[in-house]
Structures are given as structure tokens and as C-alpha cells.
Structure 1
């Protein structure tokens, strides 16, 4: 750390924020204006300070970047999948930062038809994202969305795959995804609210007409809901879904009749969640109906879809969470989670067979992959573990034979699976709950408290961070780091109850679980306070902020990526993207009880005069999920109040949003910066 370089000092303009008779003073509220030249100047000053404080690691960062890049197969391609008479492929060329999307007609030996070369399309843009590819039923056109700002506002266009020409119409401010009706000319898509970016309208576009004349077919007026549109795997229905954190609702229209009206499957009932899959004369419904907290599978005739007509197919189980289903002509495939581990269950419709695909590890991830073919006995799934690169597997559901189509290559010649060990351990939380932790490290490390350890977690929205393989992570492991994923409450690793116990008025469990895992890792001599580094992003960045307010002494340094740290102010501002849809996750602070509870842990509101660990905080100027001013304000307040001389740096990507850089290799530069920060703090120089 260069003591001679002085950090920026943000000006203070006190803003009084009053609600429920409580007044908060926010000295940095003025940063909430990305058009203000002073805000941009402050962010640039922080970036300049970051550059000066990390200048001595710049060469190391470059070496780390090259090292991580060298493990990645540059001229790589996906395993082709078959859809409607074509094989679809995503591939990369050497030196290319972006994918090439192509297809082959009939067989994999047929000539390649390049649909999109994103490397060419991205030329001249600092950020470029192509998404939502959707080929028309007659295979002649493809709809697609592009985002060139990183605000997740996509422009939809249509390309003629026979001539290569683009249709003239451009549909602005969408989610990027769209769905064709079976007439090959009607396209359904989702529009966003200009201000909040909430997905709230479904439109119907007729190819060749002016998008200004598109017909609104559905509007979601409840601000806590988002809406979306897709086609059933059976190709028989266009489906409009509406969802909030706790409630869902679906409408369907026969895809052959785009001039018709959508019919509701089951009107929304607060707390009732369900999703639908079509097969034959039934809809199969994955739902929490009848207090099935871990979900159960039901079915209902297509002619009578209200919940009174639903009947059980697979009953609710207290120890098994049903996560998803996939329907084939002869088989029902169910993605389940038991004791934290993924299971893939296969059932014949005629009930002559019912079994689990066997896996033999405690730190693995397995899930069904792209399976668009309905009439097949082959299931494609993906498998990896913390020590095993990702495999794409075709599994014959009749013979039970599996064929590994591809295992991710780790280039460079140094990687050997047998050089690494993974394990799952259990830490005891302060309320007696056992919290699982997945670990990976190089074989031969000693549990003597001297190992640097990176402890990662997320812990919100019921999102589970499964134990997965990473070529990038090898740069940590090969330098003696232990890597730990803490499966804390707020995720769904141990079922739906695990999520319910880490949200709303139990949110603090998420933070105390993480701290108790840290204490356990130290007690078991995996690491020490001088070598323990927590890391989290977005809602995991909120976790970082809460943890270092509550137990700063446990950690040497922290990485908080795009952190959601100004919880109360953001959740009181319903003009900010995501706010209204999040009330069921965090609570609505317009209600006093929720306000007081959220205020008790909100990282920004709880910064105090105490010592904090070394910190690297990252954000993106165009972030649509966590606005840049949250981490910027947080860093300014930490600078003002903290009593230590530890490093505190803020890096704002002035060109990108929540997901960081768009190119596959550019994103590695950001990881190299994070790793160099960690290595510098433990004295690793190369």
C-alpha cells in the first residue's frame, strides 16, 4: 500500500431521509445522478486512486490474466443439439472474444450455416451482448436481441436466414427474448418499463409491419410482478407467465391461433407458486399447493385447468426439493435436491421404471441440459465437481448407458484432477443449525492455520451456489489457497425451508451463518484471521457489507462485487429497477416493522467508527440491478468513519453494468485484478 497516495475525499451534502418518525442523514445522497459531472469526476478519482494503489501489482495482473486465458480452449465449440431438423452449434475462434452461432441441416456433416458472428457485430462497441435467439418454425428466420449499453434493455430484430438480410423493423426496450407463433409471421415479446426496467407488457408483432402498431396482448399492472412469454416444448402453446417472489400465474394460447385470446390456467393466489409443462391432454404442474413447501408435481386436463382440478403425480416430500421437470414422449425426468445434492430421477410414463442416475461425490453439480427433442430416449445432462471439469453427457434412458460427449479441456498441460481434493463439511451456526460448506484445495496442504482461504457465498432469493469446477480458480488453488462455498440460509441448498429461514424477518441468519462458517474454518485450522478472505457479489455484496460490520476482525481482506449495500434507501425508492418486485424477499420498508429490521443490518446505514479489513469494491456505471451509487456512497462513508489504515479501493467499470465486461476474455482481467488484490495481502508475488 502506497501511504503517500491520498484517497479521494467525497464532499458531504446532508440529505434528510424521514419515514416512520425516524430521520436518517445521508451525506452522500448527491451521488445518485449519473449525469452529474461531479459524480463522474468522483468515480474517476476513485479509479485513479485504485490504479495508483495497485500499480505495483499491474505486471502480476497481466501474468495472471495470461495464465487464466491460457487454460481456456480458444477455438472451442458446444456439443451440437438437434432442433426441428437442424443441429445448432455455438463456437469460438482463436482470438475471438465473442461466440459464433451456426447450424447444420439434417446431419452434423452438412455444411455450416453461420447465423451470427458476434465478433463482427460487436466491432466498435465497448459492450455488446447478443441474446434471445429464436428460430421460426419453418427454419427460415431468426429473431434476436442486442444490448450495447449493459442496462439489459435489448433491441429485437429479425434476420432472414436464407438471404442473410435483416428485416427493417427494430423493437426497442425489450428483454431480448421473443417467441414465434406457428404461422411464421407473428412474434410475441416482452417490453420493459423505461424507468424501472420492470418487464410488464407482452406485445404481438406481425413481421413486416411497423413496431409502433404492435398489439398489446397483456399488461402486468401489479408492480411486484414481472411478465414473460415463451412456447411450450410441445410447440402447441404460447405461454405468458407472471411472477413475483411468492406468487405465479400463467396464460396460454394455442400457437396455431395467434389471433385468439389467452386463457388463464389458474388465477393468482398470493403464496401459490406453480409452473406448467404440456404433454398430451394434460398440463403438468410443479407447485407448492397445499403447503407443499418443497414442491410437488400435479396434473390437470387442458380443458379444466383451475387448481380444483389438479391431482397429485408426485407427492410432496419433506426431505426432497423438486427443482424442475423435463417431459419426453416416454419419460418424465425430474431434477431433485436431497441433502443438498442434485439428483436426476427418470420415470417411464407406463410406470415400468423409476430410478436415479447414479453420482458418486459429495461436491458435485448435475443438471439436465438442452433437451428440445420430445420423441427421444436420450437425455442430455451436464456434470461437474470442484475437482472435475464440466462434462456434457448423453444418457440413454432405456439402456441406462451414458456417453460423455465432451469434457471441458483445461489447456496448459499442468492440470491433473488427482492433484486436488474436495470435501463437504458442516459448521454449527449460533442457533445450532448445521451449515454445509463445500471445499476444494490442492492435495497435501496441512491444516495448520497457515493457508489463505477465499470464502464465497450468496445467500438470497433461494438461489443455490452449487459446487462447480472453475479453470480460473486454479490460479488460487495452485498458489496454496483453499476455496470454500458456504451454503448459508437464504439459498435453497437444503430445500425450501433453507430459503425461508434466510429472508424477510430471518434475513440476519444469512449473515450469522457466514460468520459462523468463518469461525469454524479458523477453529478447524483450514485458515486464520490473518489469511481469511470473504467474497460475494450483488446480494452477496450485501452479505459482505453486513458481515464486516458485524465481525470485521475475522477477515484480512474482502471483495465486494456490485454490492447491494444501501438496502433501506433503495427499497424505499420504487423508481429504481427491481425495487417493487423485491418486497417479498427483503420486506417493504414503507411498513415500520420491516423498516426497523432492514435498518438493523443495512451495510451503508451501519458503518461505524471501527477497524475494517482491506477492501476491494467493484461496480459498473450502467448497472441496472445494483445502481453504481450504492457502492460509491458506501466507500465514501467507510473512508470517513473507519479507524484503520487498511486499503480501501473502489473500481467502477465506466463502460459496463451488473455482469461486468461482455467479452469472454475481458472479464478475466477483472478476475486477475481481484486475485492480485488477494495475493498482495498474503505476500504472494508470482
Structure 2
């Protein structure tokens, strides 16, 4: 191909709130249109041809990835009832094997015997065998019955996050049930494992119903347990840590409601814990005869309360006063001897442990509190997998930009920790070879925006280094520092990697999220540009060697900054990008549209919300001005961000560039067998990431020696 593909233009007029917009690519909304599929195939061919010279580099990077990863490995076994549960990977195989070992066979945590499975292993689910014959395979939920003899798992075979359920007898592998199809992916057992609870989706693919299925019967005999008619709300179902309760979670972007059912009485009626109140979000954690409740009824940053397990109203919530107003409470885990509160403060994460005593007169028997100390100032800590309520220790997961993912067992009474597993980096990894630190940018409105960055200690910070700035900034999701074996290929080539903790996330507390949504959404974009400017002005990176990346809502961020500040970046990678946001949010029949109104605004009824989204939606603001080099990646079966959106955006960019001989290159690649998170097999993912990294290096540092 001598020229990039040109998509068919078929102008369609949209008129809303007295404003008109002519959309030449509206026809791409039909994802089955042969012309769209042909266009995607042509773009894939163009990307392949334009990057053919990068194949040796991509292969080099792929082998670098593999050389650092222990391909045959074992997760940290977790004790539950009579078993140790774990998953393990096998060199050459795409997916993990989920398995367990009896405590009577191995009283201590099992380990690999060389590269062989632990002695006495019983396989729950070999995902490689289950994936055979399918180009895509992902498990949405996997639940062992309370008695431990039956497994139910929900599998997505296309990437569209629609799950078919299979029930098997663990000891023999006998398939007991395959009747439940096209579910929302969440599952819960009744205590006797006679019934399985699951969710169904509506025409907009919104999980809106909870059904009860009797194992071994036809799906058409299933019983509707709960239906959510308010289109702003999603529904999920799960079980409490002790399997005593089936929990139905109902939530919008700003409001929650929970219903709870005794798992020993599966035919009963779920009880409302507290009726929904607009703007009040809450979460529950059953522990013994109490409910721990995290809520924002009185505090922007949430607080912790306790209620009886029989609670039916928020009036029964008793404040525990274990956090301050400037600490953002993000979750709680309850155990017999202590509780663990997950927090955010000063831009970072923390875990506060509060001991419990049967002799204490305080609510829920709470006693002395302390925070887990790690000794690394810039880190991410979270509560890991803890299946037993009677445990005296808690599993925590800790990592940073330089410290590999580390699983520790923390003894609450002695306040000491034992490392159970640290992610192994083959070939050796010395955190001291790298420097991580926090920078602060100043946004146009004066807000101080944190930046986390890392580089090799030998990388000169004299304004010459290439850099990659990552961003997301939506839904209150925080982009906390994480360790990446794959990133080492950049750092060892002299790159700086940075995360812009822009508003729209919750890094600095709940108000940080609120300041980056609805009418304040523009802060997300200007924050990101301010972070880019800080890196350049501080001599951290070169002005002409700075790249940016973001996916999904972070892809919207990428599209917005390409329009807002195209001169700041040499290259931008937008992954599964939400770049035709206004068109999507205007259509209530599409997945995630109505529930998104509380995030972006309701442009259907609100002229101001329409005008605001119209002002920043990347697709509708494409002009003929210069833009950075672009890599746009997406998946054909993505149901969160339809392939239509990046296809329209790229087509519009190409049309705008048609008379620009100096236009920077655009590469657009669609994974055919993939979902919102890309391909499912790990080797396929590594090859995809290696190719993307090769493109990044070529676009920013084309003369860099390999």
C-alpha cells in the first residue's frame, strides 16, 4: 500500500439543543457493516507494512520480556477450609492452571517441585484445556462450593464480556451443568450448592437482574431474584468471606444499595441493608454478627461504621471514628481478631489494622489501631487474598516503581511481616539501579498535581532523556505506582517513565475525583498538560522526546490533549480510546451510556452538558492542524468502547491530514480476537506489548542504538 486507507464518507446530520454536527462516519456505528470490517483490515495491513522494519526490534523486546519472566511459576497458596488454593503457570502455555492441595498432605504452603506441580495437587480448572479451540478465553468468576466439592466458573470466549457458566465436580471433572449462558459474569453459591446465583444483562448489556439456578436443570426454569429497572444502576452478586451470605450489590456512579440473603435459605427474599439515597455510596463487609459499612453519608472522604447483621436502615449505622476527615477510606476487610481499613492519604495508599477483642466494650470489639509501615515512601499497598476469617495474620501486597510485587504475611499482634513471595526478575534486578520520586506540577487553576516517575540511575536528567507520560483520570480510579518487568526495557534504554495523577482519579482523595468529572472534566486534560510541562521545564525529559499513553477513558485523555496541546508530545498511544464520547453518551441503547451520565453529564436533556462534551470530545474536534505521531489500538469485540469510536477518529484524522505533506504518521491496529483488555493469552499479550514498545521507540528515538 502506497497510501493509508481512506474510509467512506457518508455525512449524517445530528441536531441537538439548537446545534448541528455533520458526522461523515456515523455509518460505522454498524459494526457488522462489511465496509467497516474492510476498513479495519486495510488499516491493519497499513500498520503491518509501515512497521515491517521494526520486526527485529519487536522480537528483541519480546525476548527481553521473556528473559526476565519466570514462566513456570506458582502464586502464593491461600488457605481456605481444608485446602491450599493457588494458580500456577507453565512455560509455553498461555493460561494458568487453578489448583489446590489438601492441608493433610501439605501442612505448610506448597511449592513447585522443580518445575513440577506440588505433590497431591488436585486441578480445579486448567484454563489451557478450557481455552482449546478458542482464540480468546477469560474467566469472569470462579467459585468453589462451600463444601469444596464443586466448581462453577464463567468464561468469556469472544472478548465481549458475556460469560457462559460451567459447573463441574472437582474430583472427577464431570460436567454437572452447562445450561446458564450469556451472563454478566458474577456468581454465588447457596450454602448447600444446590443453587447458583448469577446475573443477566439487558439489551444495552447492563447487568440488571439476579437469577437463581438449580444445578442440573434447564435455564428456562430459573427464578428471578432481583431486577433493577433504573438504567443508571448495575447489579452484581457474590458471597461473604464465610459463605454465610449471598450479597447483591446495586450501584450507579454516585449511589449504592445492598441486599443480603442467608445462603442457607436460598429460596428466601433478599433483605435491603439500607435503602438507596441519591448521592450516598456505601459498601458492606459481613463479619460474624456485624456488618462493617464504608459510606459517605457524612464525609466526602467516607468513613467506617458498624451495624448488626440484620440491619435494614442507615439509622443503624454506628460511626467507629477510626479515620480522620482528610483520609479517604476505600475499603474494609473484617476478621475475627482484627479489621483492616484501606486508605488514601497524601497521594498514596495505606492499610490501618485495628485489633478486636471479645472483652472490649467498644463497638465491634475494636481496640488499638496502627498503620502497616513499609519503609518505602513511594509505594502501593493493598489487602491481598484472605479467605479465612479466623486468621491471626493478613496477606498484604506491596510494590512500587522499583520494587517488584511482593506478597507479605503480616502478623497483627507482633506487627511483623514475612515475605511470602517477591516477583522474580530473571537475570537479576537491583532496585538501587533505579531512582523513583514524586514531582509536582501546577495546573492553570493553581492545583498541585502529583507525578510519580522512575528512571535508571545513570540516565542524565539534563533535558535530553526521552520520556513516557501515562495518564487515566476518570471514575475515581487511581493510577498508583506499580512495578513492571516490561517497563525495564524502556528504563534500561535511558527512558524516564512517569504517571500523571490527574484529577478525575482519587489519588488525593474523593474531592480529587469530583474535581475531574462533569462540569470540571477539563481539569483532567489541563492537569496532564501541566505535568508534561513540569517534566520538560524541570529538565527531566527532552521537549522533543516526550510521549504519552492512556487507555479507555485514558484514551479520551489522549485524544483531548492531542487537540489541546499537540506540540507537547512527539508521540501518543491511545489504547481502546473513548474518543467519540458525545455520540456514545447520546445513545441510551449503548452499553455504559446511561450509567455514565453521572460521570460526564446527560447531554440528551442538558444543553450545557452537551456543549461541554462537544467542546472536548476528540472526534468532534479534529482539525487540520499538526498533531503528534499516533498509535491507536483497539479490539473488535470490545463492549466497553466499541471499535467504532477509534475507527471514526482515525478516519477523521486521516481526512484532515490529506493535504498536509508534513503530517505525522498514524498507525491504527485492531486485534480481532480480543476484548477491552486486549488479547487473553499471556504470550500473545507480550508480543502485542513488544510491538507497541517497538513503535514507541521508533517514533521517539529512531536512531537509538539497540
Q: TM-score range by the shorter chain?
A: over 0.9
From 523, 530, 544, the equivalent of 1:509 is 523
1:329 aligns with 2:326: no
Distance 2:301 2:628 in 1: 39
- Partner in structure 2 of residue 354 of structure 1: 369
Report the CA distance between 1:645 and its aligned residue. Answer: 2.1
- Partner in structure 1 of residue 645 of structure 2: 630
From 693, 701, 705, the equivalent of 1:675 is 693
Q: Contact 1:143–1:159 (CA<8 Å) still a contact in 2?
A: yes
Distance 2:230 2:124 in 1: 38
Distance 2:355 2:99 in 1: 34
Report the CA distance between 1:528 and its aligned residue. Answer: 2.3
From 307, 319, 326, the equivalent of 1:319 is 326
Q: 1:16-53: CA deviations, max 9, x gaps?
A: 11111211100011112221111111111111111111
Aligned residue for 1:514, secondary structure, equals helix
Q: 1:342-383: CA deviations, max 9, x gaps?
A: 111111124442111112223211101001110111110001
Matches within 5 A, 1:139-150: 139-150=148-159
Give the alignment's TM-score, normalised by structure 1. 0.97
- Partner in structure 2 of residue 59 of structure 1: 56
Distance 2:516 2:663 in 1: 34
Q: 1:472-497: CA deviations, max 9, x gaps?
A: 00000000100000101000000000
From 572, 577, 596, the equivalent of 1:558 is 572
Distance 1:255 1:394 in 2: 30
- Partner in structure 2 of residue 104 of structure 1: 101
From 285, 290, 296, the equivalent of 1:277 is 285
Report the CA distance between 1:672 and its aligned residue. Answer: 1.1
Report the CA distance between 1:412 and its aligned residue. Answer: 2.6
1:133 aligns with 2:142: yes
- Shifted more, 312-321 versus 541-550: the winner is 312-321
From 249, 253, 272, the equivalent of 1:264 is 272
From 653, 658, 666, the equivalent of 2:684 is 666
1:286 aligns with 2:294: yes
Q: 1:483-538: CA deviations, max 9, x gaps?
A: 00010100000000000000000000000000001011110011122100010000
- Partner in structure 1 of residue 231 of structure 2: 223
Distance 1:520 1:503 in 2: 23
Report the CA distance between 1:184 and its aligned residue. Answer: 1.8
1:205 aligns with 2:213: yes
Report the CA distance between 1:649 and its aligned residue. Answer: 0.9
1:238 aligns with 2:242: no
- Partner in structure 2 of residue 602 of structure 1: 617
Aligned residue for 1:167, secondary structure, equals strand
- Partner in structure 2 of residue 27 of structure 1: 24
From 490, 505, 508, the equivalent of 1:476 is 490
Aligned residue for 2:536, secondary structure, equals helix
- Partner in structure 2 of residue 395 of structure 1: 410
Distance 2:615 2:234 in 1: 29
Q: Which runs of 4+ in 1 moved over 4 A?
A: none
From 422, 437, 442, the equivalent of 2:436 is 422
- Partner in structure 2 of residue 450 of structure 1: 464
Aligned residue for 2:352, secondary structure, equals strand
Distance 2:335 2:555 in 1: 40
Q: Contact 1:127–1:149 (CA<8 Å) still a contact in 2?
A: yes
Distance 1:316 1:381 in 2: 20
Report the CA distance between 1:303 and its aligned residue. Answer: 3.5
Matches within 5 A, 1:434-445: 434-445=448-459
Q: Contact 2:631–2:667 (CA<8 Å) still a contact in 1?
A: yes
- Partner in structure 2 of residue 46 of structure 1: 43
Report the CA distance between 1:252 and its aligned residue. Answer: 1.0
Q: Which runs of 5+ in 1 are unaligned?
A: none
Q: Contact 2:179–2:217 (CA<8 Å) still a contact in 1?
A: no
Distance 1:384 1:112 in 2: 30
- Shifted more, 508-517 versus 347-356: the winner is 347-356
Q: Contact 1:679–1:685 (CA<8 Å) still a contact in 2?
A: no
1:295 aligns with 2:295: no
- Partner in structure 2 of residue 75 of structure 1: 72
From 345, 353, 378, the equivalent of 2:352 is 345
Q: 1:567-605: CA deviations, max 9, x gaps?
A: 110001112111111110111111111001111111011
1:89 aligns with 2:86: yes
Distance 2:105 2:161 in 1: 34
Report the CA distance between 1:239 and its aligned residue. Answer: 1.1
| Alignment coverage as a number of residue pairs | 680
- Cα RMSD of the aligned pairs, angstroms, is 1.3
Q: 1:283-322: CA deviations, max 9, x gaps?
A: 21100012x1100011222334301222101266332111
1:309 aligns with 2:327: no
Q: Which runs of 5+ in 2 are unaligned?
A: 107-118, 358-365
Distance 2:614 2:688 in 1: 32
Give the alignment's TM-score, normalised by structure 2. 0.95
1:518 aligns with 2:532: yes
Q: 1:71-95: CA deviations, max 9, x gaps?
A: 1111011010011211101001111
1:614 aligns with 2:618: no
Aligned residue for 1:617, secondary structure, equals strand
Q: 1:149-200: CA deviations, max 9, x gaps?
A: 000000011001122111143211112221111122111111112x311101
Matches within 5 A, 1:357-372: 357-372=372-387
Q: Contact 1:230–1:239 (CA<8 Å) still a contact in 2?
A: yes
Distance 2:97 2:46 in 1: 38
From 631, 647, 666, the equivalent of 1:648 is 666
Q: 1:359-410: CA deviations, max 9, x gaps?
A: 2223211101001110111110001111111111001111112110111001
Distance 2:146 2:288 in 1: 20
Q: Contact 1:169–1:209 (CA<8 Å) still a contact in 2?
A: no
Q: Contact 2:177–2:215 (CA<8 Å) still a contact in 1?
A: no
From 138, 162, 179, the equivalent of 1:170 is 179
Report the CA distance between 1:685 and its aligned residue. Answer: 4.7
Distance 2:81 2:452 in 1: 41
Distance 2:459 2:9 in 1: 49
